[in-house]
Amino acid sequence: MSSQLTVSTSPHVHSEFTTRSIMCMVLLALLPSGIMGIYFLGLRSLAVIVACVFACVLSEYLWQKYVMKIQSTISDLSAVVTGLLLAYNLPPTIPLWMAVCGSIFAIIVVKQFYGGVGCNIVNPALAARAMMLISWPTAMTTWTINGVSGATPLAAMKAGTLGKISLCDMAMGNMAGCIGETSSILLIIGGLYLIWEKVISWRIPVIYILTSAILGGLFNHGGGFYPCHEILTGGLLIGAIFMATDYTTSPMTAKGQIIYAFGCGLLTALIRTWGGYPEGVSFSILIMNIAVPLIDMYTESRVFGAPKSNFFKRMGAK
């Protein structure tokens, strides 16, 4: 033995998960629906994706290097995920400068101002989308497919007409909508992959999707009970699978995740049926994001061996 031995605290072995590998798997799961989006909605979509990802990574790098003067964390790929998710939530016709503004807002204001990865209180991509929706309402809600502009199925449902799009087209993604949200089947496959790899748990996506589909149907959204339409249109799938499951802004305990997912589903159904916008996924998740610290506080798990206590009693104790 020539060199010295390394001494450190146990454990001395580690699972293969790293922040980077998790982000890699999320990117991989997102890839197919993006390709489908480009196929159906045109090459313009690709330009939006590139602009968002590039702007996110570059703004994180420059901020950390020149403002914070700390080592850059772009290699953990979280900025790439934010950029991609933001792009997937934009219409393909969005002017690129707006997409870049949104990306900078997501990284600098929502993520870095709060302390960087793991510290943001709301999902950066969703917060940026909400900011853009308020700032540039027309550009954010103009949809075209095959060169013809038209209403999204959700807007049609809100108006009380189901529209002419078949459930099959909805499942494949052949409809007007944001770049990454239209291809339901590929989003579901991506989600199953993440659950299989244990990157996310089934709880948030399944409970969220079922709650909003059933409640949306019961609220008579679209003029009848159409749970499948609720699931296959708008941003519900991408929101439930990829945005609501964002680690940093979702609860850590099983109980907390169930409450959070139910809350997201309820708010989505409420906004879709009676809100001012046709779509409510972004706002629902943002609102529930803010509630996460509160949910975490009240759903702390019972320590092994501690006496079983009543949930409401604990609410009173705090």
Partner 1 sequence: MNLPTFLGGVHPHEGKELTENKAIEKLMPDSGLFIYPLSQHIGAPCSPIVAKGDRVLVGQKIADTEAFVSAPIYSGVSGTVKEIAMKMTISGSVENCIVIENDGQYEKAPALEKPKNSSEYVKLIREAGIVGMGGACFPTHVKLSPPKDKVINWIIINSAECEPYLSCDNRLMIESPDEILRGLEYVLEIFPNAKGVIAIENNKPEAIKTLTEHNKNSNISIIPHKVKYPQGAEKMIIKTVTGLEVPLVPALPADVGCIVLNTRTTWQICKAIEEGMPVTERVISVTGDAVAVPKNLQVPLGISVKELISACGGFKEEPLKIIAGGPMMGLAMRSIDVPVVKGTSGILTLTKKLAYISEESACIRCGKCVEACPMHLEPTFLDHAVRKKDYETFEAHGGMNCIECGSCAYSCPASRHLVQSYKNGKAAVNAKRRKAAEEAKKKAEAK
Q: How far is CA 129 from CA 91, 133, 234, 244, 282, in A?
A: 11, 6, 14, 14, 8
Contact region with partner 1 (CB under 8 A), list: 92-100, 117-125, 140-148, 275-283: 117-125
Q: Which of 147, 234, 230, 143 is nearest to 183 (CA)?
A: 234
| Residues 293/249, Cβ–Cβ less than 8 Å | no
Size of the site for partner 1 (CB under 8 A): 40
Q: Work out which of 164, 304, 312, 313 binds partner 1, going by CB under 8 A.
A: 304
Q: Give me 94's structure tokens.
A: 């969005």
| Residues 298/315, Cβ–Cβ less than 8 Å | yes
Q: Which of 268, 152, 153 is nearest to 204 (CA)?
A: 268
318 makes contact with partner 1 (CB under 8 A): no
| Residues 66/51, Cβ–Cβ less than 8 Å | no
Contact region with partner 1 (CB under 8 A), list: 101-109, 115-123, 126-134, 266-274: 115-123
Query: CA–CA separation, 180 vs 187, rounded Å?
Result: 9
Q: Which of 285, 301, 199, 289 is nearest to 238 (CA)?
A: 285
300 makes contact with partner 1 (CB under 8 A): yes
310 makes contact with partner 1 (CB under 8 A): no
Q: Work out which of 33, 45, 64, 73 binds partner 1, going by CB under 8 A.
A: 73
301 makes contact with partner 1 (CB under 8 A): yes
Contact region with partner 1 (CB under 8 A), list: 12-20, 56-64, 181-189, 273-281: 12-20
Could you tell me the smallest distance in angstroms from the CB atom of residue 181 to partner 1? 24
Question: 185: buried, middle or exposed (CB in 10 Å: 19+, 13-18, 0-12)?
Answer: middle
Q: Work out which of 60, 76, 230, 279 binds partner 1, going by CB under 8 A.
A: 76
Contacts with partner 1, 13-32, as mask; x by CB under 8 A? xxx-xxx-xx----------
311 makes contact with partner 1 (CB under 8 A): no
5 makes contact with partner 1 (CB under 8 A): yes
Q: Give me 238's structure tokens.
A: 């991408």
Strand, coil or helix: what is 301?
coil
Contact region with partner 1 (CB under 8 A), list: 10-18, 42-50, 93-101, 280-288: 10-18
CB atoms within 10 A of CB 4: 6
247 makes contact with partner 1 (CB under 8 A): yes
Contact region with partner 1 (CB under 8 A), list: 60-68, 71-79, 133-141, 261-269: 71-79
Q: By the criterion CB under 8 A, which residues form the site for partner 1?
A: 1-3, 5-15, 17-19, 21-22, 73, 76, 78, 116-119, 247-248, 250-253, 300-307
